Structure 1
Amino acid sequence: MTVRPATIDDVPSILGLVHDLAAYEREPDAVEATQGDLVAALFPPSATPTAFAHVAEVDGEVVGMAVWFVSFSTWTGRNGIWLEDLFVRPEHRGAGLGRDLLAALARVCIERGWRRLEWWVLDWNEPSIGFYRGLGATAEDEWTTYRLTGDALTTLAGGTTPSRPA
Protein backbone atom coordinates (compact mmCIF):
# COMPACT_ATOMS: atom_id res chain seq x y z
CA MET A 1 0.00 0.00 0.00
CA THR A 2 1.27 3.43 -0.95
CA VAL A 3 -0.12 6.94 -0.57
CA ARG A 4 1.50 9.59 -2.74
CA PRO A 5 0.78 12.85 -4.56
CA ALA A 6 -1.06 12.20 -7.79
CA THR A 7 0.60 12.53 -11.18
CA ILE A 8 -0.96 13.38 -14.51
CA ASP A 9 -0.95 9.67 -15.33
CA ASP A 10 -3.38 9.11 -12.44
CA VAL A 11 -6.09 11.33 -13.91
CA PRO A 12 -8.08 8.49 -15.57
CA SER A 13 -8.07 6.56 -12.28
CA ILE A 14 -9.06 9.65 -10.31
CA LEU A 15 -11.98 10.31 -12.67
CA GLY A 16 -13.06 6.67 -12.28
CA LEU A 17 -13.00 7.09 -8.50
CA VAL A 18 -15.03 10.32 -8.81
CA HIS A 19 -17.69 8.33 -10.69
CA ASP A 20 -17.58 5.59 -8.02
CA LEU A 21 -17.98 8.22 -5.30
CA ALA A 22 -20.95 9.79 -7.10
CA ALA A 23 -22.64 6.38 -7.24
CA TYR A 24 -21.92 5.84 -3.53
CA GLU A 25 -23.40 9.26 -2.74
CA ARG A 26 -26.56 8.36 -4.70
CA GLU A 27 -25.82 10.81 -7.53
CA PRO A 28 -24.48 8.52 -10.29
CA ASP A 29 -25.36 10.91 -13.11
CA ALA A 30 -24.11 14.11 -11.44
CA VAL A 31 -20.48 13.98 -12.59
CA GLU A 32 -19.76 16.49 -15.35
CA ALA A 33 -15.98 16.49 -14.96
CA THR A 34 -13.84 15.13 -17.76
CA GLN A 35 -10.23 14.04 -17.81
CA GLY A 36 -9.46 17.38 -19.46
CA ASP A 37 -11.12 19.25 -16.61
CA LEU A 38 -9.06 17.36 -14.03
CA VAL A 39 -5.83 17.89 -15.95
CA ALA A 40 -6.59 21.62 -16.22
CA ALA A 41 -7.19 21.91 -12.46
CA LEU A 42 -4.53 19.51 -11.14
CA PHE A 43 -1.77 19.81 -13.76
CA PRO A 44 -2.20 22.97 -15.84
CA PRO A 45 0.62 23.28 -18.37
CA SER A 46 1.29 26.99 -17.87
CA ALA A 47 -0.44 28.02 -14.64
CA THR A 48 -0.61 27.27 -10.95
CA PRO A 49 -2.83 24.30 -10.05
CA THR A 50 -6.13 25.19 -8.41
CA ALA A 51 -6.61 21.71 -6.97
CA PHE A 52 -4.41 18.86 -5.81
CA ALA A 53 -4.75 15.14 -5.26
CA HIS A 54 -3.16 12.29 -3.40
CA VAL A 55 -3.81 8.70 -4.38
CA ALA A 56 -3.68 5.38 -2.59
CA GLU A 57 -2.25 2.43 -4.50
CA VAL A 58 -2.41 -1.27 -3.84
CA ASP A 59 -0.16 -3.43 -6.00
CA GLY A 60 0.26 -0.55 -8.47
CA GLU A 61 -3.49 0.07 -8.85
CA VAL A 62 -5.01 3.38 -7.73
CA VAL A 63 -7.83 2.42 -5.35
CA GLY A 64 -8.32 5.63 -3.37
CA MET A 65 -8.04 9.39 -3.67
CA ALA A 66 -8.08 12.61 -1.71
CA VAL A 67 -8.80 15.65 -3.89
CA TRP A 68 -8.21 18.97 -2.17
CA PHE A 69 -7.56 22.67 -2.55
CA VAL A 70 -6.02 25.43 -0.47
CA SER A 71 -8.40 27.31 1.81
CA PHE A 72 -7.84 30.41 3.95
CA SER A 73 -9.08 31.46 7.38
CA THR A 74 -9.27 35.14 8.21
CA TRP A 75 -9.45 34.13 11.88
CA THR A 76 -6.11 32.32 11.86
CA GLY A 77 -4.56 34.37 9.06
CA ARG A 78 -3.34 31.10 7.59
CA ASN A 79 -4.11 28.73 4.79
CA GLY A 80 -5.50 25.28 5.25
CA ILE A 81 -6.73 22.36 3.21
CA TRP A 82 -10.30 21.88 2.11
CA LEU A 83 -10.76 18.21 1.29
CA GLU A 84 -13.20 18.10 -1.61
CA ASP A 85 -13.40 14.33 -1.91
CA LEU A 86 -12.03 11.32 -0.07
CA PHE A 87 -12.85 7.92 -1.49
CA VAL A 88 -11.46 4.42 -1.19
CA ARG A 89 -13.00 1.60 -3.19
CA PRO A 90 -15.18 -0.57 -0.92
CA GLU A 91 -13.08 -3.71 -1.39
CA HIS A 92 -10.02 -1.83 -0.02
CA ARG A 93 -11.68 -0.20 2.98
CA GLY A 94 -10.59 -1.22 6.44
CA ALA A 95 -6.92 -1.50 5.46
CA GLY A 96 -6.05 2.02 6.64
CA LEU A 97 -5.94 3.74 3.26
CA GLY A 98 -8.49 6.43 4.17
CA ARG A 99 -6.56 7.21 7.32
CA ASP A 100 -3.28 7.23 5.37
CA LEU A 101 -4.71 9.67 2.81
CA LEU A 102 -5.89 12.01 5.56
CA ALA A 103 -2.55 11.65 7.37
CA ALA A 104 -0.76 12.72 4.18
CA LEU A 105 -2.89 15.86 4.03
CA ALA A 106 -2.33 16.52 7.72
CA ARG A 107 1.42 16.36 7.07
CA VAL A 108 1.05 18.91 4.26
CA CYS A 109 -0.72 21.21 6.71
CA ILE A 110 1.92 20.79 9.41
CA GLU A 111 4.86 21.15 7.01
CA ARG A 112 3.43 24.40 5.60
CA GLY A 113 2.29 25.88 8.89
CA TRP A 114 -1.36 25.62 7.92
CA ARG A 115 -3.91 25.33 10.71
CA ARG A 116 -6.91 23.46 9.32
CA LEU A 117 -7.92 20.36 7.42
CA GLU A 118 -11.65 20.56 6.74
CA TRP A 119 -14.31 18.73 4.73
CA TRP A 120 -18.00 18.01 4.36
CA VAL A 121 -19.72 14.72 5.02
CA LEU A 122 -23.28 13.83 4.11
CA ASP A 123 -25.57 13.59 7.15
CA TRP A 124 -26.64 10.04 6.28
CA ASN A 125 -23.10 8.71 5.83
CA GLU A 126 -22.77 7.15 9.29
CA PRO A 127 -19.78 4.92 8.43
CA SER A 128 -17.75 7.96 7.38
CA ILE A 129 -18.95 10.06 10.31
CA GLY A 130 -17.84 7.33 12.71
CA PHE A 131 -14.50 7.05 10.93
CA TYR A 132 -13.89 10.83 11.14
CA ARG A 133 -14.88 10.98 14.81
CA GLY A 134 -12.47 8.13 15.48
CA LEU A 135 -9.68 10.31 14.08
CA GLY A 136 -10.60 13.13 16.47
CA ALA A 137 -12.41 15.30 13.91
CA THR A 138 -15.26 17.45 15.19
CA ALA A 139 -18.47 18.36 13.40
CA GLU A 140 -19.14 22.03 12.75
CA ASP A 141 -22.90 21.65 13.24
CA GLU A 142 -23.63 25.36 13.61
CA TRP A 143 -22.78 26.09 9.96
CA THR A 144 -25.06 25.63 6.96
CA THR A 145 -23.63 25.36 3.46
CA TYR A 146 -25.13 27.51 0.73
CA ARG A 147 -24.53 27.08 -2.97
CA LEU A 148 -25.28 29.08 -6.11
CA THR A 149 -25.40 27.17 -9.40
CA GLY A 150 -27.12 27.32 -12.75
CA ASP A 151 -29.54 30.17 -13.37
CA ALA A 152 -29.14 31.65 -9.89
CA LEU A 153 -25.38 31.91 -10.37
CA THR A 154 -25.78 33.40 -13.83
CA THR A 155 -28.36 35.91 -12.61
CA LEU A 156 -26.18 37.07 -9.73
CA ALA A 157 -23.22 37.44 -12.09
CA GLY A 158 -25.24 39.78 -14.27
CA GLY A 159 -26.83 37.41 -16.71
CA THR A 160 -23.85 36.30 -18.76
CA THR A 161 -22.29 32.88 -18.75
CA PRO A 162 -18.79 32.38 -20.17
CA SER A 163 -18.42 29.54 -22.60
CA ARG A 164 -16.98 26.34 -21.16
CA PRO A 165 -13.73 25.15 -22.75
CA ALA A 166 -13.99 21.90 -24.64
Structure 2
Amino acid sequence: MNIRKAKTGDEKAIHELISELALYEKAPDEVTNTVEKLRVDLFVDHVCEALVVENEDLEVVGFALYYRSYSTWKGRCLYLEDFYIKPDFRRGGIGSELFSRVVETAKKWEVKRMDWQVLDWNEPAIEFYKKHQAILDPEWVNGRLFF
Protein backbone atom coordinates (compact mmCIF):
# COMPACT_ATOMS: atom_id res chain seq x y z
CA MET A 1 0.00 0.00 0.00
CA ASN A 2 1.13 3.48 -0.81
CA ILE A 3 -0.21 6.78 0.57
CA ARG A 4 0.36 9.87 -1.52
CA LYS A 5 -1.07 13.30 -2.13
CA ALA A 6 -3.93 13.23 -4.64
CA LYS A 7 -3.07 14.43 -8.12
CA THR A 8 -5.02 15.37 -11.22
CA GLY A 9 -6.60 12.21 -12.55
CA ASP A 10 -7.48 10.85 -9.08
CA GLU A 11 -10.78 12.74 -8.93
CA LYS A 12 -12.80 9.93 -10.56
CA ALA A 13 -11.55 7.32 -8.11
CA ILE A 14 -12.06 9.67 -5.16
CA HIS A 15 -15.59 10.44 -6.34
CA GLU A 16 -16.34 6.71 -6.61
CA LEU A 17 -15.10 6.24 -3.03
CA ILE A 18 -17.24 9.18 -1.88
CA SER A 19 -20.26 7.46 -3.44
CA GLU A 20 -19.31 4.17 -1.77
CA LEU A 21 -19.02 5.95 1.58
CA ALA A 22 -22.42 7.61 1.06
CA LEU A 23 -23.96 4.19 0.39
CA TYR A 24 -22.39 2.86 3.61
CA GLU A 25 -23.76 5.88 5.49
CA LYS A 26 -27.24 5.15 4.08
CA ALA A 27 -27.34 8.38 2.07
CA PRO A 28 -26.41 7.51 -1.54
CA ASP A 29 -28.77 10.08 -3.06
CA GLU A 30 -27.22 12.95 -1.12
CA VAL A 31 -24.02 13.03 -3.21
CA THR A 32 -24.53 15.87 -5.68
CA ASN A 33 -20.87 16.72 -6.23
CA THR A 34 -19.48 15.77 -9.64
CA VAL A 35 -16.13 14.42 -10.75
CA GLU A 36 -15.44 17.68 -12.61
CA LYS A 37 -16.34 19.92 -9.66
CA LEU A 38 -14.19 17.77 -7.38
CA ARG A 39 -11.29 18.16 -9.85
CA VAL A 40 -11.67 21.95 -9.85
CA ASP A 41 -11.98 22.13 -6.06
CA LEU A 42 -8.94 19.91 -5.46
CA PHE A 43 -6.56 20.93 -8.22
CA VAL A 44 -7.61 24.34 -9.61
CA ASP A 45 -9.20 26.36 -6.82
CA HIS A 46 -7.44 24.40 -4.03
CA VAL A 47 -10.52 24.54 -1.80
CA CYS A 48 -9.50 21.22 -0.28
CA GLU A 49 -6.72 18.64 -0.38
CA ALA A 50 -6.70 14.87 -0.34
CA LEU A 51 -4.44 11.94 0.31
CA VAL A 52 -5.09 8.66 -1.48
CA VAL A 53 -4.22 5.07 -0.69
CA GLU A 54 -3.10 2.90 -3.60
CA ASN A 55 -2.92 -0.88 -3.52
CA GLU A 56 -0.15 -2.87 -5.21
CA ASP A 57 -2.02 -2.57 -8.55
CA LEU A 58 -2.00 1.25 -8.20
CA GLU A 59 -5.78 1.25 -7.70
CA VAL A 60 -7.02 3.99 -5.36
CA VAL A 61 -8.67 2.13 -2.47
CA GLY A 62 -8.95 4.87 0.13
CA PHE A 63 -8.76 8.59 0.68
CA ALA A 64 -8.81 11.39 3.21
CA LEU A 65 -10.15 14.77 2.14
CA TYR A 66 -9.52 17.81 4.33
CA TYR A 67 -9.29 21.58 4.32
CA ARG A 68 -8.37 24.55 6.48
CA SER A 69 -11.02 25.84 8.83
CA TYR A 70 -11.00 28.42 11.57
CA SER A 71 -12.03 28.59 15.22
CA THR A 72 -12.60 31.96 16.84
CA TRP A 73 -11.43 30.40 20.10
CA LYS A 74 -8.38 28.49 18.82
CA GLY A 75 -7.40 29.95 15.46
CA ARG A 76 -6.37 27.82 12.49
CA CYS A 77 -7.82 24.31 12.29
CA LEU A 78 -7.91 21.39 9.90
CA TYR A 79 -11.27 19.83 9.09
CA LEU A 80 -11.22 16.19 7.97
CA GLU A 81 -14.28 16.03 5.74
CA ASP A 82 -14.10 12.38 4.72
CA PHE A 83 -11.89 9.45 5.57
CA TYR A 84 -12.59 6.12 3.88
CA ILE A 85 -10.84 2.84 3.09
CA LYS A 86 -12.56 0.13 1.03
CA PRO A 87 -13.63 -2.70 3.36
CA ASP A 88 -11.35 -5.31 1.73
CA PHE A 89 -8.30 -3.20 2.57
CA ARG A 90 -9.05 -2.48 6.23
CA ARG A 91 -7.49 -4.11 9.27
CA GLY A 92 -3.96 -3.97 7.91
CA GLY A 93 -2.99 -0.70 9.55
CA ILE A 94 -3.40 1.42 6.43
CA GLY A 95 -6.25 3.41 8.01
CA SER A 96 -4.05 4.28 10.97
CA GLU A 97 -1.24 5.29 8.64
CA LEU A 98 -3.60 7.47 6.56
CA PHE A 99 -5.01 9.10 9.70
CA SER A 100 -1.46 9.73 10.96
CA ARG A 101 -0.58 11.42 7.67
CA VAL A 102 -3.55 13.78 8.07
CA VAL A 103 -2.39 14.52 11.62
CA GLU A 104 1.09 15.26 10.24
CA THR A 105 -0.47 17.70 7.78
CA ALA A 106 -2.32 19.41 10.65
CA LYS A 107 0.95 19.79 12.52
CA LYS A 108 2.72 21.07 9.42
CA TRP A 109 -0.04 23.65 8.97
CA GLU A 110 0.48 24.57 12.65
CA VAL A 111 -3.22 24.27 13.42
CA LYS A 112 -4.56 24.27 16.96
CA ARG A 113 -7.27 21.68 16.39
CA MET A 114 -8.32 18.94 13.96
CA ASP A 115 -12.05 18.28 13.62
CA TRP A 116 -14.28 15.72 11.94
CA GLN A 117 -17.66 14.08 12.38
CA VAL A 118 -18.64 10.47 12.86
CA LEU A 119 -22.15 9.06 12.78
CA ASP A 120 -23.31 7.89 16.20
CA TRP A 121 -24.17 4.41 14.86
CA ASN A 122 -20.82 3.86 13.15
CA GLU A 123 -19.20 1.80 15.92
CA PRO A 124 -16.16 0.66 13.87
CA ALA A 125 -15.28 4.30 13.10
CA ILE A 126 -15.91 5.39 16.69
CA GLU A 127 -13.61 2.67 17.98
CA PHE A 128 -10.98 3.59 15.38
CA TYR A 129 -10.96 7.22 16.53
CA LYS A 130 -10.92 6.26 20.22
CA LYS A 131 -7.89 4.09 19.50
CA HIS A 132 -6.19 7.26 18.28
CA GLN A 133 -7.03 9.14 21.52
CA ALA A 134 -9.69 11.29 19.83
CA ILE A 135 -12.20 13.17 21.93
CA LEU A 136 -15.72 12.44 20.69
CA ASP A 137 -17.89 15.19 22.11
CA PRO A 138 -21.60 14.35 22.50
CA GLU A 139 -22.55 17.88 23.61
CA TRP A 140 -22.52 19.57 20.22
CA VAL A 141 -25.44 19.44 17.82
CA ASN A 142 -24.57 19.98 14.18
CA GLY A 143 -26.29 22.80 12.33
CA ARG A 144 -26.55 22.88 8.56
CA LEU A 145 -28.20 24.83 5.74
CA PHE A 146 -28.40 23.57 2.15
CA PHE A 147 -28.33 25.85 -0.87
> SS of the residue aligned with 2:17?
helix
Contact 1:83 1:118 in 2 (8 A): yes
**1:121 match:** 118
8 Å CA contact 1:64, 1:97 repeated in 2: no
State the partner residue of 1:68: 66
Partner of 1:34: 34
Q: Do the aligned partners of 2:74 and 2:113 also contact (CA within 8 Å) in 1?
A: no
Question: 1:23-62 residue pairs with structure 2 within 5 A?
Answer: 23-44=23-44, 47=45, 49-59=46-56, 60-62=58-60
Letter in 2 for 1:92: F
Q: In structure 2, what is the Cα distance between the partners aligned to 1:122 and 1:76?
A: 25
Whether 2:11 is the aligned partner of 1:11: answer yes
Q: Give 1:73 shift.
A: 1.7
Q: Does 1:98 align with 2:60?
A: no
How big is the alpha-carbon RMSD for the aligned residues of Structure 1 and Structure 2? 1.1
- How far residue 144 of structure 1 moved from its aligned partner, in angstroms, is 0.6
Unaligned runs of 5+ in 2: none
Picking from 144, 149, 161, the partner of 2:146 is 149
Aligned residue pairs: how many? Answer: 146
Q: Which runs of 5+ in 1 are unaligned?
A: 151-166
SS in 1 for 2:83: strand
Q: How big is the shift at 1:76?
A: 2.0
Cα distance in 1 between the residues matched to 2:82 and 2:8: 18
Q: Which has the larger radius of gyration?
A: 1
Deviation at 1:112, TM superposition (A): 2.3
CA positional deviation for 1:143: 0.8
TM-score w.r.t. the length of structure 1 is 0.84
State the AA in 1 paired with 2:85. V
Displacement of 1:9 in angstroms is 1.2
Overall identity of the aligned pairs, in %: 38
